[in-house]
């Protein structure tokens, strides 16, 4: 198994080097690190049926959950998605809606923003990166939860431009 500190150090080393991709196997665990923009190659490997059965037996049974009903407003927002500006994450990291756990959120649904308005923080490798709206308008929807891991290019907010 890989320790989180080892993974973070590997990510830092890859980021600072010209290496585009790294794959490591250790005691049956496999780690693959790839810089953004590098296309992923699909690897198909045959897995014995006995291994699949063992994995399924080891996993606890999950209780079935009903899919939550989408509010009419959210459906309307998704229908008008083309006219909305998406504020996306410029990096992989952890999304924070406020500067500290006790502080109010930078913005909420319905707030007006300008191009320089800080809308959130994305933490990457212990660095807090303030993300700006980059557009003037109104926040229509917040697409991620506080503390959620986000990917490079993942939409964080929908903004109705003015």
Domain hosting residue 23, numbered range: 1-38
Beta-carbon-side half-sphere exposure of residue 159 (alpha carbons within 13 Å): 24
What is the model's pLDDT at position 75?
Answer: 45
Which stretches of the chain drop beneath a pLDDT of 70?
1, 37-80
- CATH number of residue 150's parent domain: 2.40.50.100
92 in the same domain as 28: no
- Residue pair 158/85 in contact by the 8 Å Cβ criterion: yes
What is the model's pLDDT at position 29?
Answer: 77
Give the tokens for residue 32. Answer: 């693959």
The structural domain count of the chain equals 2
In the chain, the N- to C-terminal Cα span, in Å, equals 50
**Per-position DSSP letters for 129-148, written without gaps between them:** EEEE--S-EEEEEE-S-TT-
Domain assignment present for residue 125? The answer is yes
Domain assignment present for residue 46? The answer is no
Domain assignment present for residue 44? The answer is no
87 in the same domain as 30: no
87 in the same domain as 29: no
What is the model's pLDDT at position 8?
Answer: 79
156 in the same domain as 89: yes
- Residue pair 31/23 in contact by the 8 Å Cβ criterion: yes
What is the model's pLDDT at position 65?
Answer: 52
> Of 77, 73, 95, which is closest to residue 148 (Cα–Cα)?
95
Domain assignment present for residue 92? The answer is yes
What is the model's pLDDT at position 110?
Answer: 94
Domain assignment present for residue 48? The answer is no
What is the model's pLDDT at position 42?
Answer: 47
Q: What is the pTM of this model?
A: 0.52
What is the model's pLDDT at position 26?
Answer: 75
User: What are the start-end ranges of the H helices in the chain?
Assistant: 4-16, 49-58, 72-79
91 in the same domain as 30: no
Domain assignment present for residue 103? The answer is yes
Domain assignment present for residue 11? The answer is yes
What is the model's pLDDT at position 52?
Answer: 53
What is the model's pLDDT at position 147?
Answer: 93
Domain assignment present for residue 31? The answer is yes
């Amino acid at each position: 198994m890989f320790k989180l500190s080892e993974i973070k150090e590997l990510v830092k080393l890859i980021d600072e080097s010209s290496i585009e991709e790294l794959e490591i196997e250790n005691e049956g665990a496999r780690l693959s690190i790839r810089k953004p923009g590098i296309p992923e190659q699909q690897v198909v490997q045959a897995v014995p049926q006995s291994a699949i059965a063992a994995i399924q037996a080891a996993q606890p049974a999950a209780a079935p959950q009903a899919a939550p009903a989408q509010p009419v407003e959210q459906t309307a927002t998704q229908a008008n998605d083309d006219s909305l500006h998406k504020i996306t994450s410029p990096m992989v990291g952890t999304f924070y809606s406020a500067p500290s756990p006790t502080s109010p959120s930078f913005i909420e649904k319905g707030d007006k923003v300008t191009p320089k308005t800080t809308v959130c923080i994305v933490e990457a490798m212990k660095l807090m990166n303030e993300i700006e709206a980059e557009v003037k308008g109104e926040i229509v929807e917040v697409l991620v939860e506080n503390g959620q891991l986000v990917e490079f290019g993942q939409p964080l907010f929908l903004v109705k431009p003015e």
